[in-house]
Chains A and B, each alone.
Chain A
Amino acid sequence: MTIQSCDLNASVVPMPVSNENSAASAHSKAQRVARWLVSPSVLVLLLWMIVPLSMTIYFSVLQYSLLYPGEHPFVGLENYEFFLTDEGFSAGMSNTLILVGAVLAITVVLGVAISVLINTPFPGRGIVRVMLISPFFIMPTVSALVWKNLLMHPVSGVFAWLAQVMGMEPVDWFAQYPLSAIILIVAWQWLPFAILLLMTAMQSLDKEQVEAAKLDGAGGWAIFRHITLPHLARPIAVVVMIETIFLLSVFAEIFTTTGGGPGYETTNLAYLIYSQALLQFDVGMASAGGLIAVVLANIVAFFLVRLIGKSLTEKH
């Protein structure tokens, strides 16, 4: 055979049995190649994790405030104790989970609905698609600023004006429903991501199957429930996975809008650590907090992987 046969269109050639020996040696060589290939990335990542991580672990047992240079006495687990007993800690935990959960729910539900809606052709579909995914390209800081100042402002915002037109009292978003406001902003940013993925998935939906179901007299809901939704299960899992990774450490949106308040209502873990690290310049405490956050993130990651990760990495 010539090299031509590994053309993309080539039919799959079953492996000849007689080549077992050479295949085995090729296999071990391949192993070495693999190790060599994977090493730079893993090494770099390892460095990225290990160097700051070990510095962080070291700092976390010191009394180390940037505002007091000089001596950094060893204080054992005092920093951990202070972080875990911080008034904002339990609020930070629950807000983190609520934020992740709510944004996931909104983006998945709306994402499915919208991608089903725009799956059949209609005039201007290309433009609609572009409009729908646009928020994904906007910087988090900018979207937070725009929502806060131009849309949700209780006096001069667009929402306040709409409420007045409809004869309602304008909602003071960041005082009355601060966490919901943040959820709304973050969901707006991540909805396009869900739409992107689910839209792509919808295009590979088996149309004949749908037609057949229609002929059998299945209604729109039944088709959605028994054909569309199962088809979307995997992409939904991917959306959940990727979004969770990013949503666990949402920061810019909170920093620009509420600053974690009022009270602790919008303080998530990332923000709590920020307030320790950069408001108090308490490196020791921030390090302890960072480590605690990593542990928590890993717990979440563990369950996430249990839940959906397996089906993603497995070959289907």
Chain B
Amino acid sequence: MTEKLFHAIINLSRDEALKVTDELLQSNVNPDDILDAARDAMQIIGERFETGEYFLPELMVSGDILAAVADKVKPLLEGEGGTEKIGIVVFGTVAGDIHDIAKDIVVFMLEVNGFEVIDLGVDVPIEKFVEAVQEHEAKIVGLSGFLTLAIEPMRDTIAALKEAGLEDVKVMIGGGPINGLVCDDTGADAWGPTAMDAVSIAKEWAGVSA
């Protein structure tokens, strides 16, 4: 029964998705099943983004539809719901940089691939990364940056994590100015040019086959 919702989302039809969600709720379909169908649809959206069939507008629209569906369904959820997470990633755009688009794409792709993401937002002070890693006992950190000015705070954030004794935490970096040269320069463990690279790296580090 949730098939219709799945198709409405992957076809980016907001009105249809919301109408079907209402129908499903009225026929007492388990809210968890509704959300699962929505998540499955997001997985497809992610794949289509990766293969170049979908672009940023489709990610934004599907994210918007998902949020609207979740708004209807979440009040009816009994527990936390959802599937078991495969790992926790602390993620943010580094200090001084306020760009969120690339970060949001990566967060989106990590979430649809089963990670719990602690999204710290943009212009994140170094100590906030350290605190979040300690609080959530995360083993993976993602640092995003759009401008060349992000390189220095990336280097400083990575150094601060090591200084705080979090040496077993792995750090991946990405964004406009990043490549292998910059990765070595900052002391990061890995970098990637696309959101799917972030997923592969995180999966490898979480010990899940990519």
Partners in one complex: no
Q: Please list the residues of chain A having a beta carbon within 8 angstroms of any beta carbon in chain B.
A: none
Q: Please list the residues of chain B having a beta carbon within 8 angstroms of any beta carbon in chain A.
A: none
